[in-house]
């Protein structure tokens, strides 16, 4: 792998859960992020996927220093950035920029496009000499495929896809090294999603960017991610190269997410078993014991309630390196047979 640009270790973010107004008492914690480890290589794209409420946006905010973690470290080019303040924090924030999910609400409707894209220079005046800003803003619009003549228009005069281009231009203004894109295309029409993803892809090569690309849908990440991390209830449950995750998922949660991805080929569709997840993601204030996915898992056995599965390459695969030999936090990741049997019973086909 390329030299790491971000190294995340033991990352935790718990929000206090309080009761009462006069006497605020802490009665628990929302475990939004609950022990996350990953590495992002320079020039690489890590796709982070998982259902809504799994803690993806919280990870994004922690990476961009918009929130401070409860525990854990985030190393940017070797330096832990979680305890920085003042000038050093500001310098790091310049280098790790966020592109937000919703281009409809993340752009101030009263500001012109030129002011929106140039706003980072107000916060970081050292990044661009005052006389140079207009020229830079026009160049940024050009870079993201918008007509520089639009600088004086307002967000409502643009389509959803164009608005996200404006958000991307703003994200690039300070020439960051890392971009954290939090569901950047989820609010867009399917027809526009690919255009924005292609733009991000092109910009990555052009500006030597490293991406953390967050999505709730595995199919969106496939084309852009080199590696994928699947999150469930505040933790990464499976991670590996793009092809390992899509072609050889070993965690039941990943298998369920993949079975929901539309398959264009009708023959392949015919042969695929659909896994319907029962129930919702449990509340992060009340995380199940042992494996946190067990309450919705068709493979779950008694051991799963007792033992927290570590995110590691399953023992059975360690001796034989292949696409299935990637980290998976399931006690039965290597137990394909058991998985198939349980799944076909679940689907009402009897023991298979």
Question: What residues contact residue 133 under an 8 Å CB cut-off, 6+ apart?
Answer: 118, 121
- CA distances for 21 relative to 24, 25, 112, angstroms: 5, 9, 41
Least separation in angstroms between CB 183 and Mg ion: 6
Residue 58 contact, options Mg ion, ligand ADP, none, Cβ 5-8 Å cut-off depending on partner type: ligand ADP
By three-state DSSP, how is residue 316 classified? helix
Q: Does residue 56 bind ligand ADP (CB under 6 A)? A: yes
Give the x/- contact pattern for ligand ADP in 270-289, rule: CB under 6 A: --------------x-----
Quick one: tokens of 11? 């990352």
Quick one: tokens of 284? 């992060």
Choices 56-64, 131-139, 239-247, 323-331; region in contact with ligand ADP by CB under 6 A: 56-64
Site for ligand ADP in 32-51 (CB under 6 A): 32, 50
Question: What residues contact residue 220 under an 8 Å CB cut-off, 6+ apart?
Answer: 185, 186, 193, 197
Among residues 28, 35, 41, 53, which is the contact residue for ligand ADP, using CB under 6 A? 53
Q: Contact 263/271 with Cβ under 8 angstroms?
A: no
Q: Does residue 106 bind ligand ADP (CB under 6 A)? A: no
Among residues 10, 19, 24, 52, which is the contact residue for ligand ADP, using CB under 6 A? 52
Give the x/- contact pattern for ligand ADP in 304-333, rule: CB under 6 A: ------------------------------
Q: Contact 233/282 with Cβ under 8 angstroms?
A: yes
Give the x/- contact pattern for ligand ADP in 15-34, rule: CB under 6 A: x--------------x-x--
Residue 113 contact, options ligand ADP, Mg ion, none, Cβ 5-8 Å cut-off depending on partner type: none
**Closest C-alpha to 234, from 253, 250, 248:** 253
Least separation in angstroms between CB 305 and ligand ADP: 22
Least separation in angstroms between CB 253 and Mg ion: 17
Residue 30 contact, options ligand ADP, Mg ion, none, Cβ 5-8 Å cut-off depending on partner type: ligand ADP
Q: Does residue 57 bind ligand ADP (CB under 6 A)? A: yes
Least separation in angstroms between CB 283 and Mg ion: 16
**Closest C-alpha to 174, from 118, 131, 106, 213:** 118
**Closest C-alpha to 275, from 310, 302, 245, 251:** 251
Q: Which is nearer to Mg ion, 14 or 56 (CB)?
A: 56
Residue 53 contact, options ligand ADP, Mg ion, none, Cβ 5-8 Å cut-off depending on partner type: ligand ADP
Contact set with Mg ion (CB under 5 A): 56-57
Q: Which is nearer to Mg ion, 157 or 283 (CB)?
A: 283
Q: Which is nearer to ligand ADP, 162 or 254 (CB)?
A: 254
Among residues 6, 38, 47, 55, which is the contact residue for ligand ADP, using CB under 6 A? 55
**Closest C-alpha to 48, from 257, 198, 333:** 257
Least separation in angstroms between CB 82 and ligand ADP: 17
What does the DSSP assignment read for 194-219?
HHHHHHHHHHHHHHT-EEEEEES-HH
Site for ligand ADP in 121-180 (CB under 6 A): none
How many Cα neighbours within 13 Å face the side chain of 67? 19
Q: Does residue 212 bind ligand ADP (CB under 6 A)? A: no
Q: Does residue 12 bind ligand ADP (CB under 6 A)? A: no
Q: Which is nearer to ligand ADP, 82 or 344 (CB)?
A: 82
What does the DSSP assignment read for 32-76?
EEEEEEEEEETT-EEEEE--TTSSHHHHHHHHTTSS--SEEEEEE
Q: Contact 333/251 with Cβ under 8 angstroms?
A: yes
Question: What residues contact residue 56 under an 8 Å CB cut-off, 6+ apart?
Answer: 48, 49, 50, 182, 183, 214, 216, 231
Q: Which is nearer to ligand ADP, 31 or 326 (CB)?
A: 31
């Amino acid at each position: 792998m390329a030299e790491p640009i971000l190294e995340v270790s033991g990352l935790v973010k718990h929000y206090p859960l309080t009761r009462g107004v006069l006497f605020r008492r802490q009665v628990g914690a929302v475990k939004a992020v609950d022990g996350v480890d990953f590495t992002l290589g320079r020039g690489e794209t890590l796709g982070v996927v998982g259902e809504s409420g799994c803690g993806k946006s919280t990870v994004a905010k922690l990476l961009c220093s918009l929130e401070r973690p409860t525990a854990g470290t985030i190393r940017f080019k070797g330096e832990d950035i979680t305890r920085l303040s003042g000038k050093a924090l500001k310098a790091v924030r310049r280098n790790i920029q966020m592109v937000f999910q919703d281009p409809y609400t993340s752009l101030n409707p009263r500001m012109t496009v030129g002011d929106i894209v140039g706003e980072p220079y107000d916060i970081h005046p050292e990044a661009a000499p005052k006389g140079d800003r207009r020229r830079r803003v026009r160049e940024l619009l050009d870079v993201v495929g918008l007509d520089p003549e639009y600088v004086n228009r307002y967000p409502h005069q643009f389509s959803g896809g164009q608005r996200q281009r404006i958000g991307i231009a703003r994200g690039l203004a300070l020439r960051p090294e890392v971009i954290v894109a939090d569901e950047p295309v989820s609010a867009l029409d399917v027809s526009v999603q690919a255009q924005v993803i292609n733009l991000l892809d092109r910009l990555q090569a052009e500006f030597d960017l490293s991406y953390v690309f967050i999505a709730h849908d595995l199919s969106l990440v496939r084309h852009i991610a080199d590696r994928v991390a699947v999150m469930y209830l505040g933790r990464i449950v499976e991670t590996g190269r793009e092809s390992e995750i899509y072609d050889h998922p070993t965690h039941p949660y990943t298998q369920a997410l993949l079975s929901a991805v539309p398959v264009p080929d009708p023959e392949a569709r015919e042969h695929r078993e659909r896994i319907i997840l029962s129930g919702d993601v449990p509340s992060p204030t009340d995380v199940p014991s042992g494996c946190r996915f067990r309450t919705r898992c068709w493979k779950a056995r008694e051991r799963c309630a007792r033992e927290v599965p570590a995110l590691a390459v399953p023992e059975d695969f360690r001796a034989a390196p292949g696409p299935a030999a990637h980290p998976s936090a399931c006690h039965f990741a290597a137990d394909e047979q058991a998985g198939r049997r349980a799944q076909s019973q679940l689907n009402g086909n009897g023991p298979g």
